[in-house]
């Protein structure tokens, strides 16, 4: 039995990060730096001017150094706790629940692996003409074709590229971008949307963004549009095999 498709819950909006002026950890770090510099300056002055017949007790300033180090470690711990909190707020904890689920996420990019890259494109209305171009990360065109027949009908359509360029040479594995240009019978442009579909295998955070792996492709988890149980029948229409 096919599980019903459910809309992905939007990511919770994280609370605004405190500015440096009111962030206790940032203020603590600044104070620690100032105090540590002052402490070293005083210690150096004291050592230079100590009485040779009654030298400074080394145990005392060693204890002070240990105390300063302890404060530094506490501030680092606070940073780690803030990072964990940030990860939770940006969707990591929620996105973990997608592992093992079949998802459909908005993405023009897909990973070419083992001679295959796959997308799903959506036409909101019947098109008279649809052209496809596949570019690499540097904008170099590797494949182009004009679609026909059922591939022009309104709805979702699967598009698979066999990884060969226009000379028939296998392209290197990597991320490639699908570009569609669609027009109706009057020549007016039709807005299209590209998706990737597959089972989520992992979750990670990169530069503050929560990414999920949909098959071999990494996408922002907030672009997920539908979630079904793994193994559910796909909802897309006709299949177009690109670069065959």
pLDDT of 32 over the 60 cut: no
Please tell me the distance from the alpha carbon of residue 83 to that of residue 136, in angstroms, as a whole number: 34
Under CATH, to which class is 97-242 assigned?
mainly beta
| Per-residue confidence band for 13, with pLDDT thresholds at 50, 70 and 90 | very low
Where are the chain's structural domains? Answer: 24-89, 97-242
Please tell me the distance from the alpha carbon of residue 112 to that of residue 215, in angstroms, as a whole number: 11
Tokens at 113, concatenated: 């692996």
Please tell me the distance from the alpha carbon of residue 219 to that of residue 89, in angstroms, as a whole number: 18
The stretch 217-238 carries a mean pLDDT of 76
Closest CA to 105 of 239, 199, 237: 199
The stretch 68-90 carries a mean pLDDT of 57
User: What is the model's pTM?
Assistant: 0.60
pLDDT of 1 over the 50 cut: no
């Amino acid at each position: 039995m096919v599980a019903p498709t459910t809309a992905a819950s939007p990511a919770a909006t994280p609370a605004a990060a405190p500015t440096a002026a009111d962030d206790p950890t940032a203020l603590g770090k600044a104070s620690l730096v100032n105090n540590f510099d002052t402490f070293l300056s005083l210690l150096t002055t004291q050592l230079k001017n100590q009485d040779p017949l009654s030298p400074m007790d080394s145990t005392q300033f060693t204890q002070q150094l240990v105390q300063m180090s302890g404060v530094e470690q506490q501030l680092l711990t606070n940073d780690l706790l803030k990072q964990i909190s940030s990860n939770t707020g940006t969707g990591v904890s929620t996105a973990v629940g997608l592992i093992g689920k079949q998802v459909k996420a908005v993405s023009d990019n897909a990973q070419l692996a083992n001679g295959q890259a796959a997308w799903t494109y959506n036409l909101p209305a019947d098109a008279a003409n649809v052209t496809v171009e596949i570019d690499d990360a540097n904008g170099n065109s590797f494949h182009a074709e004009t679609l026909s027949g059922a591939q022009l009908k309104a709805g979702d359509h699967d598009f698979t590229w066999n990884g060969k360029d226009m000379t028939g040479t296998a392209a290197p594995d990597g991320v490639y971008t699908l570009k569609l240009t669609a027009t109706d019978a009057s020549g007016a442009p039709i807005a299209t949307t590209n998706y990737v579909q597959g089972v989520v295998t992992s979750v990670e955070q990169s530069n503050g963004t929560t990414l999920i792996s949909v098959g071999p492709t990494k996408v922002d988890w907030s672009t997920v549009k539908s979630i079904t149980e793994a193994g559910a029948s796909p909802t897309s229409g006709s299949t177009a095999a690109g670069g065959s």
